[in-house]
Structure 1
Amino acid sequence: MKQNMHIVILTAGYGNGHIQVARTLKQSLIRSGVRSVSVIDLYREAHPGMNSVSRSLYLYSPWFSAYGLDYYGWSYYATRDLQKTSAIAKWGNQLGMKKLITLLQKQRPDAIISTFPFGGITDQLQKHGIRVPVFTVVTDFSLHNRWLFTRPDRYYVATADLKREMIERGVPAEAIVVSGIPVREPFYEPVRSANPQAQAQAPRASERSRSVLVMMGAHIPLPDVQLITAKLLALPDVRVDLVCGGNDKLRRRLERRFAGHERLQLFGYVEAIHDRMREAACIVTKAGGITLSEAIQIRTPIVVYKPFSGQERENARYLERKGAAAVAISPRALAEQVHELIDSEVRRARMLQQYDELAAGCATETIVRDVLRLTGRLQAMADGQ
C-alpha cells in the first residue's frame, strides 16, 4: 500500500543500537510504501564538535571505569530520576532543538520517530506551532527519566514491566505499546534459509550443541578477552567462535595467543550474525538492548560479561531477575555459567521459556503498522477541521 508520507527518524550515535533501530525502521517503512524516510543524527547535525567529544567520552568510559573513574555510570545514576523542571534537564532539553526546528520547517514531515531520549521535542513543536505526531521507541529494558521529557503520541517499549514503570511515573497507559525492541529482519525468521553451501559449512548438531559465540561489540570490546577465551577453551569439548568485528588488532593478538587451537575460530565482521547465533548453544556478549533483543528473538541463551555501568548494567539486571540471562563478573564465573547452560537442560528450558514470553511477535511490524495507522488518523482529523 502506498503511503504518501515523509517521515523523519531522529537518532544519535552513542553506541550502535539507536542508529541500528533507526535503520531497521526506515527499511520497514519504505517496504510499507512510505514515500520517503530521513534518518537524522540530531546531535551530530546540530553540535558536531560537542558530539565528537561526548561520543569519545562515552566510548572510552569503560577504560576509565576500570581505573576507578566511572564518570558515565555516575552521570547515568545521578540523573536517572531527574525531573523535567531541574536546571540540568532544561539545559539538556535545549540541545539540538534549534537545528531540529529548522529541519522540520524545511522537510515538513508527516511524523517524527525518535530512537534516542531527546528531551523537550513536543514542547518545542508546540512553541513553534508545528503540528506533527511524535513517536518514541525506547531501546532499553530499563527506564531513565530522559525518555519521559518528550511526551509523544505513542511510546513503544520492550516489556510489560517497563510499561508499568512508565505508568507509575505518570505516562498514560493508552500512550504505551508493548512492542519489543526492533531488530533486523533476519532475526524474525523462524529457521535459517536453505543454502546448500552454508549448510555444508555449518557445524553438525553434536558440535553446535557445545558451541559458544563470543561477541565483542561494535565499538567497545568485552574486557578480559584472552582470559575469557582461555577459560572457555578449558571446558570439555566446547567450541568457541569469537567475533572481533572491525578490531583487526585484537584478532591478530588472539591468533598469536591461541595459534593452532582447533576448537577456536576467529571472525572479523560477520554480516549474517543471526546464523552464527542460531548455531550457538549460548552467546557471551555486552548488555546493549539491541544485541539482547536479537538473542531473545532468535532464542539463544545469553551470558552477559561485566556489564558496563548505566543502561547496560540495568538491562543485564532486569534480564537476570527474569531468568532470561546469566551475568558473570569474572572469567571463572563466566566459564561456570556457560558450562551450566550447555549441560543443564533444565536451566536452558527455563531461559527459553522466558524468551517465549519476551519475544512476542515482530516489534518492527508492530511499530510501523501503528505509526502509519495513527499518523493517517491524525492527518484525517486535521483535514476535517
Structure 2
Amino acid sequence: MPKTKVLIFYTAVGQGHKSIAENIGFYFAQLGFEVKLENILEVEAGWFVKFNERLYTFVIDKLPWVWNFLYQTPLLHVLRGLRLPLAALKHPARALNLIQSFNPDIIITTQTVASAAAALIKKRKQYQKLFGIAFSDFHMHKFWLYDQADFYLVNIAEQKTQMMALGIDGSKIFICGMTLKPKPPADQFEIKDRLRIDRGVKVILMASGSMGTGINANSLVFLAKGVLNELTQKQAKGQIIIVCGKNKQLYEELKSFRLPNVIIFPFYQTMPELYAIADIFITKPGGLSVAESLSYELPILITHWLPGQEDLNIEYLTKRNLIMPVASRRINPAWVIRAAVEELLTAQFRKQLQKNSNLVEVIDTKEAGRRVKFAINQIITSQFDKS
C-alpha cells in the first residue's frame, strides 16, 4: 500500500519557518508518511520573488517603523483580499508542477507567502486534497488565514480563540504548542571541552537571530565586555558565545575585535548543544529560538526584536514570565549587563522558570511532538471518515 504523501512549503528568509516545517515533517515521517519539504522562494525563483525578498529584508533592517506600522495597522487586514491576486502575479506554475508531480495527499505551509501560493492553487481546483497552515509565533495575525485551508496547526490557545471569533470552525484548529524535535543527548562536559570552554565558568550565549539584523557589532562588543568585566569584579568567570546567523559582515566585524573569552560563530547548525551548556541566552524573541531554549529551561534576556511580530511575541511571553522582564521599548545596554550578571550569579529566573506552569502552553515539556502527533492522527482520521 503506498504511503500517504505530505508536501510542506516554507520560506527561509529567517530560520524559524524552515525549522517548523522540518519539525512537523519529522513527526509525519515518524508516523510513516512520505514527506517532501520545499522552499517556495526557490521553487518560484524569479525577479518578482527576489524583489519582494530583498524589499522585506531592507524594510526590516533599515525602516523597522514602517514594517511595525504595516504589521499592526488595520489597513493590512483590509488588504487581505489582495493576497491571492498578488500570488497570481508570481505565476505559481512551478509550485503547481511540483504538486502535480509529487501528488501529495496533504499540503502544509509555514509562512503566508507559501500559504498564498497553495491557497491560490486550491481555489483554482488544481489541487483538491488537504491543505493546512502551521504558525511559528506566539500571536495571531489575520494575514495568516485563508478560506481554502482545511486545518491549522497553532501554537497557543489564544490563537484558536481569536480565530474562532473570526468565524473559523474550531474543529479545524489544533493547538500543538511550538513543534520541536526531541532534544538530542547532550554531554555538557564534552561540548565544553570541544569548544575549549573551562568547565566551571558561566556560559553566556548571545545571538543576533538567523538573519543577523537588529543589533550591530559595536553593541554586541559593548555587551560582551560589560558582562565579562562585571563578572570579574564579582570574582566570577564567564565565557561568551556569539552566533551571528546569516550576517557574514557581522561575523567578520566581530572577529576583527579579537575579544578574549569570546567565541564567535557564523550560522550554527546545532544550536541545542549551545542551549545545553548556556546559563543565559541574550537574543531576540523569535518564536522557534524562544521555544527551543525554553525546552532547556534557559533564561532569555531580550536585547532587540523585529518590529510587529516580535513585539507581540514579547507581550505574550512577558505576561507569562517565560522571558526575563524587558525594561522598555528601547533597551538600555547598562541595564542588560546588570540583569545578565545578576541572573548568572543567582540563577533566580531559571529557578522560577523551572516551576512555571505556563511552559506547557508553548512546548511539550514531557514528550516532544505529543500534540502535533495527536493532531496528525485526528486530521487523517477525520479525512478517512469523510471519504
Specify the TM-score bucket, using the shorter chain as the normaliser.
Answer: 0.7 to 0.9
What's the offset of the Cα at 1:370? 2.7
Once the two structures are TM-superposed, the CA of residue 333 in structure 1 deviates from its matched residue by 2.5
Instruction: Give the AA of the match of 2:243.
Output: V
Deviation track 1:294-346 (CA, whole Å, cap 9, x = no partner) reads 11222111112121212122212221222111336232222133133334444
* 1:213 paired residue number: 205
Aligned counterpart, 2:353: 351
Q: 1:155–1:177: 8 Å Cα contact kept in structure 2?
A: yes
Q: What residue is the counterpart of 1:182 in the other structure?
A: 179
* Contact 2:178–2:362 (Cα < 8 Å) also in 1: no
**C-alpha displacement of 1:277:** 0.9
Does the 8 Å CA contact 2:155/2:177 hold for their aligned counterparts?
yes
Spell out, residue by residue over 1:68-112, the C-alpha distance to the aligned partner (whole angstroms, 9 max, x if none): x6332232223686047x553453464657434444334321111
Query: Within 5 Å, which residues of 2 pair with 1:218-367?
Result: 218-223=210-215, 224-236=219-231, 237=236, 238-245=238-245, 247=247, 249-259=249-259, 261=260, 263-326=261-324, 327=326, 329-352=331-354, 353=356, 354-361=358-365, 362=367, 364-367=369-372
Deviation at 1:157, TM superposition (A): 1.5
Larger displacement relative to structure 2 (269-278 or 73-82): 73-82
Q: Which residue number corresponds to residue 26 of structure 2?
A: 27
Is the contact between residue 179 and residue 363 of structure 1 (CA under 8 Å) also seen in structure 2? Answer: no
Q: Deviations over 1:169-228 (max 9, x none)?
A: 22222222221122343xx35xx4458744655756742xx3210012222245122222
For residue 337 of structure 1, what is the amino acid of its counterpart? Answer: A
Letter in 1 for 2:281: I
Counterpart contact for 2:188–2:276, Cα < 8 Å? no
CA distance in 2, matches of 1:373, 1:97: 34
CA distance in 2, matches of 1:380, 1:173: 18
Bigger shift: residues 215-224 or 94-103: 94-103
Letter in 2 for 1:348: R
Are the equivalent residues in 2 in contact too, given 1:211–1:282 (CA < 8 A)? Answer: yes
2:69 alignment partner, one of 71, 74, 78: 74
The secondary structure found in structure 1 opposite 2:85 is: helix
Whole-angstrom distance in 1 between the partners of 2:11 and 2:74: 19
CA distance in 1, matches of 2:29, 2:89: 29
Distance 1:200 1:158, change over 3 A: same
CA distance in 2, matches of 1:255, 1:10: 35
Where in structure 2 are there 5+ consecutive unaligned residues? Answer: none
SS at match of 1:10: strand
Aligned AA (2:372):
I
**Aligned pair in 2 of structure 1 residues 268, 151: CA closer, same or farther (>3 Å)?**
same
Distance 1:363 1:52, change over 3 A: farther
Q: 1:225 to 1:204 in 2, by over 3 A?
A: closer
Aligned-residue CA RMSD (Å):
3.1
CA distance in 1, matches of 2:377, 2:89: 28
Distance 1:3 1:376 in 2: 17
Q: After TM superposition, which residue ranges in structure 1, 4 or more long, deviate above 6 angstroms?
A: none
Structure 1 range deviating more: 353-362 or 270-279 = 353-362
Measure, in 2, the Cα distance between the counterparts of 1:126 and 1:88: 14
Cα distance in 2 for residues equivalent to 1:323 and 1:195: 26
The farther-off stretch of 137-146 and 271-280 is 271-280
Q: Contact conserved, 1:7 with 1:110, CA < 8 A, in 2?
A: yes
Matched residue type, 2:343: L
Report the Cα offset of residue 137 of structure 1. Answer: 1.0
Deviation at 1:245, TM superposition (A): 4.2
Residue 155 of structure 1 aligns to a residue whose secondary structure is strand
AA at the equivalent of 2:43: E
Q: What is the CA–CA distance in structure 2 between the aligned matches of 1:133 and 1:156, rounded to whole Å?
A: 13
Counterparts in 2 of 1:81 and 1:318: CA distance versus 1, 3 Å = farther
* 3-state SS, counterpart of residue 77 of structure 2: coil
Residues 205 and 240, structure 2, Cα contact 8 Å, conserved in 1: yes
1:155 offset after TM fit, Å?
1.5
1:91-141 Cα shifts (integer Å, max 9, x gaps): 346465743444433432111111112248457525427431122111111
What TM-score results when the alignment is normalised by the length of structure 2?
A: 0.82
Bigger Cα displacement from structure 2, 12-21 vs 361-370 = 361-370
**Aligned-partner SS, 1:332:** helix
**Equivalent of 1:139, from 123, 136, 139?**
136
- What's 1:91 paired with? 85
- Confirm or deny: 8 A CA contact 1:120 1:149 kept in the other structure: no
1:145 to partner: Cα distance: 0.6
Give, in angstroms, the shift of residue 364 of structure 1.
3.7
Going from structure 1 to structure 2, the CA distance change for 1:127 and 1:200 (only over 3 Å counts) comes to closer
C-alpha distance in 2 between matches for 1:160 and 1:142: 10
Instruction: Give the distance between the partners of 1:8 and 1:165, measured in 2 at CA.
Output: 27
Residue 165 of structure 1 deviates from its aligned partner by: 2.3
Unaligned runs of 5+ in 1: none
Give the counterpart letter for 1:214 in structure 2. M
